[in-house]
Amino acid sequence: MPFPIPTISKEALRNHINALQGVRHPLVAPEALERAALYIETNLQDYGYEVGHHCFFDNGKEYRNLNAPQPGTVARQPKLLIVAHYDTVSNSPGADDNASGVAVLLELARVFAEASLHMTVEFIAVNLEENERETEPKGRGLRGSRALAQHAREQEWNLAGVVVLESVAYAGPNMVQTVPVGLPIEVPTVGDFIAVIGNQASIALVQAFLHAAEQYQPELPKVPLVVPGNGELFPDTRRSDHAPFWDQGYPAIMLTDTTNFRSPHYHQPSDTLETLNLDFAAAVGNAVAQLILNLAS
């Protein structure tokens, strides 16, 4: 009997974001960062997952990514990673960036907890995506995903793809959308869509997500962008945890509400639950759920 199409709960998203929001930063609020990790781990365990720790060092301190695999039933299949970062910058509660992505990640893990999938799907909450200090240059972040992508390459993981959930809840018909200078596509001026960012090696994964969204959430506006190489010509397309996987040669996409190109609350104290569109976030989650079904079952 086929696994039923799962449905992301908007109320569960609200509860997760409400529990997670607050500064979660390795220097300014390390205790809150640890509480967030424990919250994520506890929920994944409650869903029945065996949660592993992928540990890495930064500035002499140990940090961890949390991984919860749903093992596939067919041997020697590639696996699919669903990824979201749980840290914040030093001055923001990070409801959209990125409690929203973690909330969708947890909901996806919940709805697939009883699934029997041919392909292993691994739900991973990564740490230290943000720059450690606001004075550091761009690119200093992504420490958790960089360590994870390097580990994947060293262990010769066979990945069908990596789906990164990066700020997925700020959208609506009254949002003004801007774009990076020189972007090679036309972008709507209304910020009501989810951007699907991939590179040349990820074209098939971009198309697979668009197809899944059309199947299950046809009303969800989507704007795809495939960049040449690993996005070097458009640095703004590399600003999340998909970029280290691009650099290691893996197909990866970022799903994002475009953060600072839409939201006045980006990296601000005003990035709170009350500003978010949870119907939109749930629609994004439902589209990813259909993608998982299409690829892994």
pLDDT per residue over 190-249, tens digit each? 999 999 999 999 999 999 999 999 999 999 999 999 999 999 999 999 999 999 999 999
Tokens in use for 21?
């929001």
Residue among 161, 165, 166, 164 at smallest CA distance from 251: 161
Give the pTM: 0.96
pLDDT in the model for residue 133 = 47
pLDDT in the model for residue 181 = 87
> Given pLDDT bands bounded at 50, 70 and 90, which one contains residue 134?
very low
Residue 95 has pLDDT above 60, yes or no: yes
Hey, where are the domains in the chain? 10-296
pLDDT in the model for residue 135 = 45
> Given pLDDT bands bounded at 50, 70 and 90, which one contains residue 184?
confident
pLDDT in the model for residue 140 = 66
pLDDT in the model for residue 139 = 46
C-alpha neighbours within 13 Å on the C-beta side of residue 96: 27
Correct CATH for 10-296 of 3.40.50.300, 3.40.630.10, 3.40.1360.10, 3.30.300.20: 3.40.630.10
How many of the other CB atoms lie within 10 Å of CB of 139? 11
Residue among 197, 199, 208 at smallest CA distance from 246: 199
pLDDT digits (tens, 9 = 90+) for 38-90: 999 999 999 999 999 999 999 899 999 999 999 999 999 999 999 999 999 99
Tokens 């994520």 found at? 40
CB 144, CB 84: distance < 8 Å: no
Residue 138 has pLDDT above 50, yes or no: no
Lowest mean per-residue pLDDT among 97-111, 133-147, 249-263: 133-147
CB 48, CB 113: distance < 8 Å: yes
> Given pLDDT bands bounded at 50, 70 and 90, which one contains residue 182?
confident
Under DSSP, the state recorded for 285 is H
Spell out the residues 6+ positions from residue 91 whose beta carbon is closer than 8 angstroms to its own. Answer: 23, 28, 134, 267, 268, 269
Q: In which order are the strands placed within the sheet that holds 222-227? A: 52-58, 61-70, 121-126, 79-85, 159-166, 252-256, 194-199, 222-227
Measured distance CA(43)–CA(105) in Å, rounded: 11
pLDDT in the model for residue 2 = 57
* Mean pLDDT, the chain, whole residue set: 94
Please name the helix (run of DSSP H) or strand (run of DSSP E) that holds residue 16, with its range, or none.
Answer: helix 10-20
* Helices and strands: H and E segment counts in the chain: 7, 8
CA angle, residues 173, 170, 167, in degrees to nearest 5: 145
How many of the other CB atoms lie within 10 Å of CB of 260? 16
Measured distance CA(297)–CA(73) in Å, rounded: 9
Torsion, CA 79, CA 82, CA 87, CA 93, rounded to 10: -170
Measured distance CA(244)–CA(269) in Å, rounded: 28
Residue among 208, 222, 230 at smallest CA distance from 296: 208
Tokens 């390459």 found at? 153
Over range 98-107, report the average pLDDT.
98
